[in-house]
Each structure stands twice: as structure tokens, then as C-alpha cells.
Structure 1
């Protein structure tokens, strides 16, 4: 395999987000609107911006002792990243939370007062973008999204910082992404976006992706709903097909499932021989702490995190140790990467 060239800033940034073995065991805490709604629902009263910062800071301070990196938003989370454990990498989100439901296509938008340069100055080791993406949508919608990702890729290249892209599959014609109907088409959608955004034109360095199946509909899984979309062997083949489409390191997101379900999902990925490079796991680790915080306050959340939160993330790390592969595996090994220096920017 020919040597792969990578700039020093991008190489160092990915390494900062990985552990000593090259596994990205990152915690996600960039939720904004969804977290505020969840706290408010559990409390039965409005949640404030101060609630978000307090929650994010507690999660960061306690759980980053067991994580290689933390994904955070710059809107409410900058005080939190100051509380991270030494040696923890920082990914900062660049997109606005949610999307305008009144406009077709779930079009993305960026935070108004931020740029890649500013995020880097705020402490980012890498930049993360979430993109709702239907590979089979109208060409006009996807052209907008392709150009959007190309611009961000170019901005990250100019600032020599890694670009983590999180595509989320959807199809408004099929409906709810958690449904049986969507489960039937999900493997095709995830495989297609992994192939698309592996193309060099986008400048993506790491893909943060969904698993290509909905494990509730995999016969033989502990969480099997009773309605079969795929057998266990079929599910493993979908994992392999999606992985084969990738030309960049990829990590899995937890997508809001419980920690037990996410670990079982990763075990299935490992059984399929999928060379995933780790995870960016958020809600699976800490979501059960939301009602604790909402109803009992910050001290109770901290106690819960020290107990259940730590148990969740250490169990996840044990699963990663069994199944994940170093991020450089897709490039033929660490020795196959040639790190090059760029001129220093003023």
C-alpha cells in the first residue's frame, strides 16, 4: 500500500482525540436543544442555559477521566471543557443545533459567531459537523449539502485541523428513523453516505457514523423486538458492506440508545470483523442522569455520574478494547502515514 500523506495538524489532532492505542473512545456532550427539552420535561418546569452548562460541566469533569476526548458545543460548553481530565482531546461542534422544519431537506447551518479558526483558538483539537443526509434525495438538495461540506473541509484544511463528519440518514418519505420501515433501508443509506463522504473532495478526516442496522430488528439480539428486519448473519454482512465503503477512519455514534444496547451493538460489529476505530458516545452513558439532575440537583447528578456514569463508560471501554481497531488501520498502519508540515499561519 502506498504511503498516505497527512498534515501534522490533522495527524496530531486525531491523535489527541485517541487513546495510546489509537482508539477513539470519546464522550459526546454537545447536545443543546434536545438536552434543554429533556431537563425541562423531567423537571416539569423550564430549563435554563445555566442548567446546560452545569450539566455539561459535571459530565465532563467526571467522565473524561475515562474518555480519550470530549465532544462539546461552544455555545454552552466552553466552561465545561476547562474541567476535563488532563490529556483529554477536544472536539467542538460547528453546526447549529437542529434544523428548520419549515424548509424541505433538513438543510444545515453554522453557528453565527464561530469559524474553524475561532474554534481552534477556543481549544479544539478537531471540528465536528452533523449533517442530515439522504443519499437518494433530490439532487438539488444534496448539491447544497455537498457544497456545504466542501467549504467546511477547505476551512479545516486551511487551519490544519481534523474534520469529523457525522452524517445522519433520514428519508421523509419513509418516515420515523426508528421504525421497522426505515430499518429495512438503513443499511443502503449508511453505506452510501460512507462512500460519498470518503471522497477526497470533502476533506473529511474521520467519519462519525450510525451503525447500518437497527438492532431492535435483528433476530437473536437481546433487544430484539420480535419483528425481524434481518437475521444476525444478514446484519453482520451489512456491517461489512458499510465498512468496505469507507476510505476514512470511522467511529460509531450511540444515537440515544441505552448503554447496554450500544455495547451489544458494538459486539455485533466486532463479530462482523468491522474495523471501526472507536466511538463518540453521549446519551448512552449519561442520559439516565437527566432526571436525577432535574429533580434532585447538581450534587445528586455528580453522585450518579460517579456511580452509574462511570460504570457505563468503563463497561463501554472494555467492549472497545475487545473490538475496536486503531484509527490508522484503514491506512495500512501507523508506519504507513507520512506526516508533513505546512507553513505556519499568522
Structure 2
């Protein structure tokens, strides 16, 4: 498949010199408010702009140099941290509003909202390398919810094509049925099928997605080899074996028509390291991790010096371990979309390409 010059340049900037994605996310808003509120003993709504901006700035300043690209939000994070982004590290800006609108028959189904006052054109002007959109998705949700989510994804895809920016789509499942809970056997058993479903759907060409940022296709805490409390001390009934989990990762690689990376979903670093190794050993092109990398720095807030000391030691060590865990990641140019670096082609080339390349109107 051919690719535009802007998207190719952007994807190259998101990857490291090996063509692998070792990316960090610090675009959290609501979850970060809740995290900091517990530390300082306040209500989440009392955690304001300065609190979030200060924390994000420290994370970017210390850890962004270790990432191939860093994802941040335009609301609290970008302007405070902009001068600390290294010149050779890619920049992704989030385009969705934090949280989700609830709806559907159960009242628990989620609709994504784009951030008011922000769009892809501003992302381009602000100097970003790529656009990231987070969508909560269940293919078995109410038809009107599914349609809404698809329309949002399509719209951002069209805008990314217009402004020639790479489109990173983050997909996250959630429990909404009566027999489901975030941490129960029923939801754990359904997780592989849910992740397969959205991966196959949104890697279709009509959505114009360039990289999928997706969940690990199983809950390792419910894996036979880890369910005795390996990660959090809580014993659970197994839902699958490790060999089955590996097969889920291989299936994701088979059905995804674009490179895919693993998100951390708030798990601790020990579990995320296993997720990353299993995923990248079986076809993933890397990771885009957030809280797993830096969340333990929050315990020192508002002492910036202690936060940055933790980030400079334990945070950096987390990154180094993730590099090792992802050493077998598939370079983006070796994904079946491109086949190889030598076979990558621009959609417009030749002596008159610049005449046909559309400018902004």
C-alpha cells in the first residue's frame, strides 16, 4: 500500500532508529486528577490546571528523551511542557475530550466526544507529529452507540488525511452488561473476542488509521500461569493458558492491516512488561505506555524534586526494561502494510508530484 509523504515522515518520527515504537503517554486527565487527589487528600475536582500541568511537565522533562515519541493532551500538558520535548522525539496530541458520554439501553455504554475548541488543523499548526484519538468501543453495544463511535473515527481519519498527519487510534473496551465487571471472569473471557473485533474493523482502509493502539488481548491476571496473584496478590479463576494468550497476539497480527502497539491500561510495570514481551514477540510493533511507566512518581506530589528524582531513577529504569521487553518488536516498515523498507512507496512522486499534492484551503 502506498502512503503520503506527510504520513510517512510522521510515522518515521514516531519510531526509533530501528523502526520500532517505544512511545510514552502523559495525556491522562481525569485519571490523573483522581491519582493526585488521593495523594494530597482532596476531591478530584479540587485538582486544578496547575497541578496537572506541573506533574506532566516533570514527566516530559525527565522521561520524554527515552521515548521514540510522547503523547500529551493540548489542555493541561502541551504548553507547559513544550520546551522540554527533545527535537528528535515525536509528538502526538490527543483530540478527544476526557471521559465519555453514557448512553445506550443499559445507560453504561460510552460515546466519545471530540475536545471542544480543538481539532486536527490545530494539531498540525501546533507542531505535532501525529493525532491520537481514544475511543471506547464494544461492537456489541447498542446500534446507535456503535454508529456514533464509527462516525467519530471516520471524521478524524478524514481530517488526518486532509492535513497529512499520521492517525493513531486508541481503542479501549469496557464492561456494560449485567454479568460483566472490570475485574471478573466473564469479562476476562470475552476480552480476546472484543479486541479481535475492533482490531479487524478499524484497520480497514476506510477509517484511514495508520497505527492501532490497542489493549492486550487478554487479562493476564486471569491467565493460568499468573492467576495465583502474580501481579496484585489476588487469586483468580483462570480463563485461558499462556499458549492461548500468545495465539491471541498472533491473531491480532494476522487480522490487523496496520501496525499495532500495546497500551498499558493503568496496570503496574511488572504486568506491562509481560504484556509488551508477549505482544512484540508475536507481531506488535512496540508500545505506547502511560501510567505503568510513571505512575509511582505521583506518590511524591507536590514535591517536584522528589518526583523528578523518582522519574530519573525508577522511571528511567522502567523505560530501559521496556526496551528490552520489546526487542523483538516488528519494525513498522516490515508490517504487511509496507512489506519492507525497500518496498515502501509514496502515493505521489516524480517530477510533478508537488503540483498534484493538495495544499490547505
Tell me if both proteins adopt one fold, taking TM over 0.5 as the criterion: yes
Corresponding residue for 2:317?
Answer: 311
Corresponding residue for 1:92?
Answer: 93
Corresponding residue for 1:119?
Answer: 123
Unaligned runs of 5+ in 2: 349-356
Corresponding residue for 1:287?
Answer: 295
**C-alpha distance in 2 between matches for 1:325 and 1:60:** 26
**C-alpha distance in 2 between matches for 1:200 and 1:177:** 31
Deviation of 1:226 (Å): 4.2
Q: Name which of structure 1's ranges 279-288 and 133-142 shifts more when overlaid on structure 2.
A: 133-142
Structure 1 residue ranges (4+ consecutive) displaced by more than 4 angstroms after TM superposition: none
Among residues 11, 17, 28, which one is paired with 1:31 in the alignment?
Answer: 28
Corresponding residue for 2:334?
Answer: 329
* Partner SS for 2:3: strand
Give me the TM-score of the superposition, normalised by structure 2. Answer: 0.90
Contact 1:208 1:250 in 2 (8 A): yes
The within-5 A match list for 1:190-209 is 190-209=195-214
Give me the TM-score of the superposition, normalised by structure 1. Answer: 0.94
Higher relative contact order structure (alpha carbons within 8 Å, sequence separation ≥ 6): 1
* Partner SS for 2:2: strand
Alpha-carbon displacement from aligned partner over 1:253-307 (angstroms, at most 9, x marks no partner): 011111111111222234xx4211111111001101111124xx11111111111
**C-alpha distance in 1 between matches for 2:182 and 2:345:** 40
* Distance of aligned partners of 1:226 and 1:108 in 2 relative to their CA distance in 1, 3 Å threshold: closer
Contact 2:103 2:111 in 1 (8 A): no
Aligned-residue CA RMSD (Å): 1.5
Q: Name which of structure 1's ranges 172-181 and 259-268 shifts more when overlaid on structure 2.
A: 172-181
* Partner SS for 2:251: helix
The within-5 A match list for 1:1-346 is 4-45=1-42, 46-78=46-78, 79-101=80-102, 104=107, 105-173=109-177, 174-221=179-226, 222-223=230-231, 225-270=235-280, 273-294=281-302, 297-321=303-327, 323-330=328-335, 331-341=338-348, 342-345=357-360
Contact 2:102 2:111 in 1 (8 A): no
* Partner SS for 2:134: strand
